[in-house]
Amino acid sequence: MPAQETYLHTLQRMLERAFDSQKEQIEAASQKIADCVLDGGMVYTFGTGHGHLLALEIFYRAGGMVRVCPILDERLMLHVSASESSAWERKEGLAEELLKKYPVKQGDVLIALSNSGRNAVPVELAALCKKRGAYVIALTSLAHSSAVSPRNSLGLRLYEAADLVLDNQGVLGDACVEGTGGRMVGPTSTALGAAMLQAIVCRVEEIARERGKDIEFFASSNIDGGDGINAAYLKKYRGVIPGL
């Protein structure tokens, strides 16, 4: 079978397994996020390295909830220095620094994203947000995380620091297709995580309708009338959500 088909079929199986095995967790996450947003809370997202892509996945996009605030720091992303970002995500104390800019509070939700869940910054951030009274949802790979030791003085993996765990059903090392000499290629955590997050967003909107309430959602700026809809949200939330 060609490698691209192997990857596709493997990813499809992983998606089916994730949605089947995490059905109750996805529903619980959706209910918590709906409660949060309908009560005027904020949904914060955070990831380091490629997890940062998932932190942005549900932020400021067509069909996305307005009350989503990614916790962003360029040192933890890939575009400044990819290799240095790996060192920064292991730096203890950085999470406390990040929260000086982002006022996570009781009633808010943090979605923390890390496939391995072992490094200091995501774990410390989850622990600090819980102390502030936020509800912490971890999106991680339990197969990977449970097979490695913590890299933080708390002695925890992300799944051990969260209130609710979403297991993306990914494999140890993330890549899923075996290449030459046993080399593994084809990581899956981004595709799996994006699908699970967007499914939750869809369910949150449905929950709001079931309750006879409404949640603010961005429109596409590339459809007629979209700019006008979004302009009102930008005016309302600039100064509240950094990065808008």
Q: In CATH, what number is assigned to the domain containing residue 97?
A: 3.40.50.10490
Count CA within 13 A, CB hemisphere, residue 83. Answer: 0
Task: Evaluate if residue 10 carries a pLDDT over 90.
Answer: yes
In this structure, the strands spanning 184-187 and 43-47 are unpaired
Q: Judge whether 64 lies within some domain.
A: yes
- Tens of pLDDT, residues 71-116: 999 999 999 899 999 999 999 999 999 999 999 999 999 999 999 9
- Tens of pLDDT, residues 23-36: 999 999 999 999 99
pTM of the model: 0.96
Measured torsion, CA atoms of residues 169, 170, 171, 172, in degrees rounded to the nearest 10 = -110
Type of residue numbered 188:
T
Type of residue numbered 72:
L
- Tens of pLDDT, residues 152-178: 999 999 999 999 999 999 999 999 999
DSSP code string of 82-111: HHHHHHHTT-TTHHHHHTTTS---TT-EEE
Residue-number span of the structural domain to which 133 is assigned:
3-217
DSSP code string of 10-32: HHHHHHHHHHHHTHHHHHHHHHH
Q: Judge whether 193 lies within some domain.
A: yes
- Tens of pLDDT, residues 173-208: 999 999 888 899 999 999 999 999 999 999 999 999
- Tens of pLDDT, residues 210-227: 999 999 999 999 999 999
- Can you tell me the distance from the alpha carbon of 140 to that of 208, in angstroms, rounded to the nearest whole number? 26
Q: Judge whether 222 lies within some domain.
A: no
pLDDT band at residue 6 under the 50/70/90 scheme: very high
Q: Judge whether 75 lies within some domain.
A: yes
Q: Judge whether 194 lies within some domain.
A: yes
Task: Evaluate if residue 234 carries a pLDDT over 90.
Answer: yes
- Can you tell me the distance from the alpha carbon of 206 to that of 190, in angstroms, rounded to the nearest whole number? 24
Q: Judge whether 241 lies within some domain.
A: no
Q: Judge whether 244 lies within some domain.
A: no
pLDDT of residue 219: 96
Q: At what angle do helices 23-38 and 189-210 cross, to 10 degrees?
A: 60
Measured torsion, CA atoms of residues 206, 18, 20, 15, in degrees rounded to the nearest 10 = 90
Cα separations (Å) of 19 from 13, 115, 147, 168, 218? 10, 17, 22, 9, 26
- Domain count for the chain, please give it: 1
Give the rounded percent of residues in the chain with a pLDDT score beyond 90. 95
pLDDT of residue 43: 98
Average pLDDT over all residues of the chain: 95
pLDDT of residue 225: 92
Q: Judge whether 229 lies within some domain.
A: no
Using CB atoms within 10 Å of the CB of residue 124, give its burial: 0 to 12 exposed, 13 to 18 middle, 19+ buried: buried
